[in-house]
């Protein structure tokens, strides 16, 4: 069948008609266990009652006003974010790449207003994924995403992920900011060491550079803290969030300290739909659920169980699996060169399990935060069958 869509995606021949909790269903009501959650988006699963109620209720009153007018819920959600984090100021967007772009603008504006307009260098790390817009792909530095979209944007310097020596050699009085994902998703589900994030914070303080976190994928409770960096005692000057903070509704934001955000005055940035009433209603309902007593403890507990199950699976398939990776409910299995992660994900889909493939030949899991240990057992049973099929195929 001819499609009128720009061919940037190649989805499988599979159509879902509804979702409930941690399962998706096709037209024949066949269930699939969803352990990728729209790539870490459906943080409370599909059609969570609290989010559905919030969206339906708001849809009966106001959909859109633009930022020309006050939206009280926007102030409410911004305060919730600031009360829970390092931040003093929030700008709402629709997506993660918008949040990253706005945060990068804020970093450069900060230095320009402090009489250092030429201080534009931003240190980033190999394996990063910061979005698909022009600035974001240059920040990410992935050659596959940059090909055909030149010239390269000036000012980005990419370093090996977690390499202290390379970082210490690179940071200087020319550095405007350091941008990092505390847990890389696309780059192979790699978590930065607490000590590395603390080193970044210390050197940024020493040189006057800003520390920026991209928590679009690893934030919103996914690691068992509201935001992944909160495990490390290394607070940033800015942070981009999206995906899970909307629970499936388009919502993003960049969060800033007062010293950085105060330079983003009227006319420096804007968004037509960012902070719209529908997104704010869903965002508040989502945050209510994340802050319920025991929610983060649940993520830690079930995340540890899932990681243990993955480790057992790795022991069962030492000829295929190199190691387990990740933190909380953003985890992965690195495969050796006998297998291709994307193909294993396809075999898992045949078993009724939805997972993803990340860089470095890693199977990625980012299930809803509401999964139970029984869901984890079911997922690993299905993944085990997929790995067995892959082993059998590789031995032929």
> What distance in Å separates the CA atoms of residue 379 and residue 34, rounded to the nearest whole number?
9
- The answer to whether residue 243 is catalytic is yes
**pLDDT band at residue 116 under the 50/70/90 scheme:** very high
What is the per-residue pLDDT for 384?
Answer: 97
Please give the order of strands across the beta sheet that includes 210-214.
89-93, 252-256, 238-241, 210-214, 175-180, 121-125, 156-159
Evaluate if residue 396 carries a pLDDT over 80: no
**Distance spanning both ends of the chain, measured CA to CA:** 34
Alpha helices, DSSP H, located in 317-372: 341-350
The active-site residue out of 225, 243, 327, 334 is: 243
Q: Return the pLDDT at 395.
A: 77
Quick check: is 214 catalytic?
yes
Task: Answer yes or no: are the C-beta atoms of 306 and 366 closer than 8 Å.
Answer: no
| Whole-number pLDDT of residue 245 | 99
Predicted confidence (pLDDT) at residue 316 exceeds the cutoff of 80: yes
Mean pLDDT of 264-284: 98
**Distance from C-alpha of 326 to C-alpha of 190, rounded to nearest angstrom:** 6
pLDDT mean over 5-29: 96
Is the pTM higher than 0.95? The answer reads yes
pLDDT at 286: 99
pLDDT at 351: 98
Q: Which of 86, 92, 129, 161 is catalytic?
A: 129
Residue 152 confidence (pLDDT)? 92
Q: Are 190 and 334 in contact (CB under 8 A)?
A: no
Distance, CA of 240 to CA of 227 (rounded, Å):
11
Active-site residue, selected from the candidate residues 91, 214, 249, 334? 214
Number of neighbouring beta carbons within 10 Å of residue 271 = 16
| pLDDT tens digit sequence for 161-218 | 999 999 999 999 999 999 999 999 999 999 999 999 999 999 999 999 999 999 999 9
- Position 2 scores a pLDDT of 86
pLDDT 10s digits, 227-267: 999 999 999 999 999 999 999 999 999 999 999 999 999 99
pLDDT at residue number 394: 81
Compute the CA torsion angle 79, 80, 86, 87 (nearest 10 deg).
-40
Tally of residues, the chain:
396
**Domains, the chain, ranges and CATH?**
16-34+295-394 (3.90.1150.10), 50-290 (3.40.640.10)
């Amino acid at each position: 069948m001819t499609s009128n869509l720009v061919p940037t995606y190649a989805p499988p021949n599979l159509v879902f008609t509804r979702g409930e909790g941690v399962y998706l269903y096709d037209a024949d009501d066949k269930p699939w266990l969803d352990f990728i959650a729209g790539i870490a988006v459906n943080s409370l699963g599909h059609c969570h009652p609290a989010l559905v109620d919030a969206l339906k209720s708001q849809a009966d009153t106001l959909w859109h006003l633009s930022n020309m007018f006050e939206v009280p819920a926007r102030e409410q959600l911004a305060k919730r974010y600031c009360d829970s984090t390092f931040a003093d100021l929030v700008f709402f967007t629709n997506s993660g790449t918008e949040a990253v772009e706005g945060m990068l603008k804020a970093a450069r504006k900060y230095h320009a207003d402090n009489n250092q307009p030429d201080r534009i260098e931003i240190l980033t790390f190999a394996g990063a994924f910061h979005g698909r817009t022009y600035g974001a792909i240059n920040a990410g530095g992935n050659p596959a995403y940059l090909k055909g979209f030149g010239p390269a944007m000036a000012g980005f310097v990419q370093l090996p992920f977690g390499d202290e020596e390379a970082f210490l050699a690179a940071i200087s009085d020319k550095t405007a900011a350091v941008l990092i994902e505390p847990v890389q998703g696309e780059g192979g589900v790699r978590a930065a060491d607490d000590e590395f994030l603390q080193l970044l914070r210390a050197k940024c303080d020493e040189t006057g550079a800003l520390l920026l976190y991209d928590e679009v994928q690893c934030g919103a409770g996914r690691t068992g803290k509201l935001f992944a960096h909160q495990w490390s005692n290394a607070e940033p000057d800015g942070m981009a969030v999206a995906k899970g903070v909307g629970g499936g509704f388009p919502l993003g934001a960049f969060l800033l300290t007062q010293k950085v955000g105060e330079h983003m005055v009227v006319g420096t940035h804007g968004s037509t739909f960012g902070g719209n009433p529908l997104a704010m209603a869903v965002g508040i309902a989502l945050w209510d659920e994340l802050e319920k007593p025991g929610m983060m403890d649940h993520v830690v507990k079930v995340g540890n169980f899932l990681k243990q199950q993955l480790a057992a699976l790795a022991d069962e398939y030492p000829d295929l699996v190199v190691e387990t990776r990740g933190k909380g409910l953003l985890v992965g299995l690195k495969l050796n060169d006998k297998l291709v992660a994307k193909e294993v994900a396809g075999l898992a889909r045949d078993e009724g399990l939805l997972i993803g493939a990340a860089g470095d030949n890693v199977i990625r899991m980012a299930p809803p935060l509401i999964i139970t240990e029984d869901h984890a057992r079911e997922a690993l049973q299905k993944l085990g069958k997929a790995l067995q099929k892959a082993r059998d195929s590789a031995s032929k």
